[in-house]
Structure 1
Amino acid sequence: MTPAIGRLKTRPEFLKVAASRCKWVAPGLILQVLQRGSTGQSSDHSAQSGTGLRVGFTVSRKVGNAVKRNRARRRLRAVVDEVMPELGRPDHDYVVIGRGSTLTRDFEDLKSDLRVSIARATTSKGFGSKRGSKGRKGSTRGPTTGPASKGS
């Protein structure tokens, strides 16, 4: 029997998953993952959901108007309902973020995007591989660059 898939509904739940910084970007979607057991959380929602996996969906206004966002969310829900029972891990929270191509991408391609994202985001390299405070390699953040320093 496949495990029941719970839902993430509140903003703090989504923010906890985003704070884990474990994500994978695919052409049709973005997947963020949080392993609940490793963070030592003991919130009421985590205790109520037991050991099952939970999934949340978000689609920003960049994707389109409300009709397009709802259509993208429905497509993502259908993909998750097919893929997560076999590949989703218990004690994990997943946030699936819709992209512009979620609307036009073939359904089979969306399913393969989710499969690849789950595999990549939940590998041992995915968890705990947080970058330093500088961000990407070659970042040019600093007080000496930019228009503010040219005026001095």
Structure 2
Amino acid sequence: MTREASGASAPGLAAPERLRRREEFLRASASGISRNYGAFKVLMAVRADDAEGAPRFGFTVTKKVAGAVGRNRIRRRLKEALRVSKAHGARPGRDYVFIARRAALTAPFADLIAQMADGLARLGRSHEADRPKKPKNRPVAP
């Protein structure tokens, strides 16, 4: 059986690291940094324990969105979009949580990839803008 026939992922495209525990998901939702898109909402939290580690990702699809089959299909689509996009725009040392919307089930796959890359890039830029800047060296008035 070939790799394509077995349904295995393409070579060279490793799956991103995942969030696995409830506490990790809750920390991302409590951080307050998020962006809304048509197919999902993306949340970001900075990890204090591993500031230079690979970014980690989690996916949430509630029962309000779809039944079990629809929820699993949405989760698989979002995971594959993240894998194919190679998590472009994700910063090291951060956790990202994608909260799926109903539109993720029917949205064109290319749109999912574009929204995902845009969301990750915007979150990274907005977090950098929120950091306090170093004061400039100004002469002290006598």
Quick check: TM above 0.5?
Answer: yes
Provide the residue aligned with 1:14 in structure 2: 25
Looking at structure 2, the residues matched to 116 and 86 of structure 1 have their Cα atoms a distance apart, in angstroms, of: 9
Give the whole-Å Cα distance in 2 for the aligned partners of 1:95 and 1:8.
8
Q: Take 2:105 and 2:14, find their aligned partners in 1: how far apart are those partners?
A: 28
Q: CA 1:17–1:84 in structure 2 vs 1: closer, same or farther (change >3 Å)? A: farther
- Give, in whole Å, the separation in 2 of the partners of 1:126 and 1:26: 21
- Find 2:82's aligned residue among 61, 80, 86: 80
Which residue of structure 1 lines up, in the alignment, with residue 110 of structure 2?
108
Query: Could you say which residue in structure 2 is the equivalent of 1:57?
Result: 59
Structure 1 counterpart SS, 2:38: coil
Aligned pairs (5 A) from 1:2-151 = 5-36=16-47, 40=48, 42=49, 51-124=53-126, 128=130
Deviates more, 1:54-63 or 1:78-87: 78-87
CA drift of 1:112 comes to: 0.9
Higher relative contact order, structure no. (Cα contacts within 8 Å, ≥ 6 residues apart): 1
Look up the equivalent residue of 1:17 and give its one-letter code.
Answer: A
For 1:94 and 1:128, locate their aligned partners in 2 and report how far apart those are by CA, in whole Å: 17
User: How many Å apart are 1:33 and its aligned residue?
Assistant: 0.8
- What letter matches 2:110 in structure 1? E
Moved >4 Å (runs of 4+): 1-4, 125-129
Which stretch shifts more, 120-129 or 65-74?
120-129
Q: TM-score by structure 2 length?
A: 0.74
Partner amino acid, structure 1, of 2:24: E
CA distance in 1, matches of 2:129, 2:43: 11
CA shift, 1:124, in A, is 3.4
Structure 1: gaps of 5 or more residues = 130-152
1:65-123 per-position Cα deviation (integer Å, ceiling 9, x unaligned): 10000000000000111224432211111111110000010000111111111122121
- C-alpha offsets along residues 12-57 of structure 1, whole Å, 9 cap, x if unaligned? 0000011111111001111111121xxx3x4xxx59xx71110011
CA separation of 1:53 and 1:2: change in aligned 2, threshold 3 A: farther
2:125 is paired with a residue of what secondary structure?
A: coil
How far 1:3 moved relative to its partner? 8.0
Q: Which amino acid is the alignment partner of residue 81 of structure 2?
A: V
